[in-house]
Amino acid sequence: MRLLVYRDSLFAILHVLDPTGITLRRQKMQAKKGEYIMLSLNWIWSIDSYDKLSPFSIEIYAYINAYSRNIIWIYVGISNCTSYLIL
């Protein structure tokens, strides 16, 4: 059984049921995040993984230069369940 609910209707119901939760989440989304202080181009590299393709046994890892936002290195594998591939 499928139930089709429109986004606007869902948000209207959520405003009625939980107005304080919505205001708290909105304030949290508008809060300023931390900043990096970088002295040079290759000072900080960030590593990130993309897990939305894990139901299909695909893993993606990437190094990103935090200063220029360029992708330094990327790895695409077939499974993120084995510790050998993650290391």
**Residue 74 located in a structural domain:** yes
**Residue 79 located in a structural domain:** yes
Please state, in angstroms and rounded to a whole number, the distance separating the CA atoms of residues 42 and 69.
11
**Residue 31 located in a structural domain:** no
> Residue 75 contacts by C-beta under 8 Å, 6 or more apart in sequence?
59, 60, 61, 62
**Alpha-carbon dihedral 23, 28, 29, 31, rounded to 10 degrees:** 130
Encode the chain (87 residues) as per-residue pLDDT tens digits. 788 888 888 889 989 999 998 888 888 877 776 776 777 777 888 888 888 887 887 888 888 887 788 888 888 887 656 555 555
**Residue 80 located in a structural domain:** yes
Q: Which domain holds residue 76?
A: 45-86
What domain count does the chain have?
Answer: 1
Please state, in angstroms and rounded to a whole number, the distance separating the CA atoms of residues 46 and 68.
11
Q: How many CB atoms lie within 10 A of CB 58?
A: 15
3-state helix, strand, coil in the chain (%, to 5): 35, 25, 45
